[in-house]
Amino acid sequence: MTSSTVARRLRGALVLPVLLAPLVLAGCGEDADPFDSYCAVVEEEKPGLSQVLDDDGGSSGLLPALPTFERLEEAAPDDIADDWSVIVQRLGSLADALEAAGADPATYDPVDPPDGVTPDEQEAIALAAGSVATEAVREALENVQQQSRDVCKTELSL
């Protein structure tokens, strides 16, 4: 092998890593902090979430925040995704049961349900409400709030 052949191969061996470096570094940049995009959504949703919960005065519980929770669930990193899923699924079931019965979450009274809400619909609402008022949901809410404080440095008051 001549010295010029060795030099060409050496140049090729040195050029390839230089050409590939931007691609490798770009890939690493996306994974540098997998929570960045989630925390951006938390920051973006926080004012609206606070407003929705304050405006409702608590009469509908967390139901008015369901669309916000769905966006947070979609953005959630793996370590908190299951907690968001518990919250969204349980609240979604309650919202669906109330909607199917044509009942307003803010005024629905299980002791004195509105006219037109059938016993089956009352039972579906009660079951869905019971699934929200569980230790699993309370724990999931605590977990997403803790994650928000610790990782995103943002307080979510749910």
pLDDT digits (tens, 9 = 90+) for 81-102: 999 999 999 999 999 999 999 9
With 90 as the cut, is the pLDDT of residue 19 above it?
no
Structure tokens at 140: 């999931």
The Cα 25–Cα 83 span in angstroms is 32
With beta carbons less than 8 A apart as the criterion, state whether 114 and 8 touch. Answer: no
The predicted structure's pLDDT at residue 9? 54
Length of the chain: 158
Question: Which residue did the predictor score with more confidence, 95 or 7?
Answer: 95
Instruction: State the pLDDT at residue 7.
Output: 46
Report yes or no on whether pTM surpasses 0.85: no
Number of alpha carbons in the 13 Å side-chain half-sphere of residue 39: 14
pLDDT surpassing 50 at residue 17: no
Radius of gyration of the chain (CA): 25
Q: What are the tens digits of pLDDT across the range 24-82?
A: 444 444 454 768 899 999 999 998 888 877 775 555 788 999 999 999 999 999 999 99
